[in-house]
Amino acid sequence: MPSLVRLLFVLGLLGGLAYGGIVSLATFVQPQPREMTVTIPQDRLNRHR
């Protein structure tokens, strides 16, 4: 039983570290806005249902 508790503790600790890393990235890293251009082929514009 102690090995099961140790395993669950280690998994919980790793999960907490991963969650903390994701939260810190979402909080402190700001995305750089940039302009985006998408080219649509002409035949897709003329298509009717």
Q: What is the pLDDT of residues 23-43, one digit of tens each?
A: 999 999 988 999 999 888 887
| Mean pLDDT computed over every residue of the chain | 90
Question: Does residue 26 lie within any of the structural domains?
Answer: yes
What's the domain count of the chain? 1
Domain enclosing residue 18, as ranges = 2-44
Question: Does residue 49 lie within any of the structural domains?
Answer: no
Helix (H, G, I), strand (E, B) or coil at 46: coil
Helix extents (H) in the chain: 2-28, 42-45
Question: Does residue 39 lie within any of the structural domains?
Answer: yes
- The whole model's pTM is what? 0.57
